Structure 1
């Protein structure tokens, strides 16, 4: 993110420097005015980056945290992904960092949400592929055999009295969120689905928990239930 910000500042400087060669011919004061404008834009970019770093490092809402989440999600992430592609950093590595930063920014808001306004959203691949009882749409169908992590997650949601849903894809996940209208979502998925889900849900705060894929993507995946428990305890009123 820091490198991206410096490149943006460099681009801003070039946008100022190139026109100055012609602006002076129009009016002698135009280069100075343009320089002031671009100096302000550069200062805003640098200040915003510093504020993001401090907010993430301290997990404290310093200034404009919700707005900065939007800047990271809508603007910085696509630029950083492009930068990563150019210098050989994989998309998943960048997405992991993005999810971690998003979680830090959400944590810095120190939200306190009632259990009935929290939603745990799970991918269907957490359930065993050959299980005859499909829990999509109603996790209470689970017989709690313990062969997959659905058992522990269902018990966790029951303990805190929190809504929990299993979705087969992004479209169903969005439908569940629209129907239940939570104030905060704790979502489990892979890097790609979590990143797109966080982007689609903004400004709704989402805490992302990456799943483990010992058998490859989209089949018999796992998740650390303790991480979800920890995330819930930090936000539940």
Structure 2
């Protein structure tokens, strides 16, 4: 081994070309599991405590509210379990691919609060989330027709000295080679995007 070349650990090589700042999927999985357990427990308490008084209003009301709370608990547990299995297996399972975004939007703020309670920095949770989210997106094996793909690029790709503004019509590009826009147009034309 060359002493001037740093040794790449398994964690660094696992991250590939992207940098995750030492983030691990384990942190995300632990936090989402803890968050869902706490959320389900709170929902159970929300049902159990007032159900005694609900029986005074109508005898069936504790059962109706119990069914509603149980449905909510099962939905949260299913979403969290589906997301964890999606992370572990690398592909959507249990029909959770459509609710992945909603699950993450629901759980991420709660996971940050739980991490703060345990003294875990918010940045560590965010890096773990970015790593997990990138892997989940890569795991989706959807095929798209070229006419279903939209290429969005920032203005900064265009040479600032170029007299042609491409904001509304990229086909006005002269393809002079002073910026990568011409190459992107060539790729677009080649693949029919």
TM-score, normalised via structure 2 length: 0.56
Q: Is the contact between residue 69 and residue 102 of structure 1 (CA under 8 Å) also seen in structure 2?
A: no
Alignment partners' CA distance in 1, 2:126 and 2:172 = 33
Aligned to 1:103: 137
Aligned to 2:168: 137
Aligned to 1:77: 105
Aligned to 2:151: 120
Aligned to 2:122: 89
Q: Is the contact between residue 157 and residue 180 of structure 2 (CA under 8 Å) also seen in structure 1?
A: yes
Aligned to 2:23: none
Give the root-mean-square deviation of aligned CA atoms: 3.9
Alignment of 1:1-237 (within 5 A): 2=32, 3-23=34-54, 34-35=65-66, 37-69=68-100, 71-72=102-103, 76-77=104-105, 80-81=108-109, 84=112, 87=116, 89=122, 96=130, 100=134, 103-104=137-138, 107-108=139-140, 110-162=141-193
Shift of 1:12: 0.9
Could you list the runs of 5+ residues in structure 2 that have no partner in the other structure? 1-30
Matched residue pairs, number? Answer: 156
TM-score, normalised via structure 1 length: 0.48
Alignment partners' CA distance in 1, 2:41 and 2:157 = 45
Could you list the runs of 5+ residues in structure 1 that have no partner in the other structure? 163-237
Q: 1:17 to 1:71 in 2, by over 3 A?
A: same
Q: 1:52 to 1:85 in 2, by over 3 A?
A: closer
Greater share of strand residues, 1 or 2?
1
Alignment partners' CA distance in 2, 1:40 and 1:50 = 15
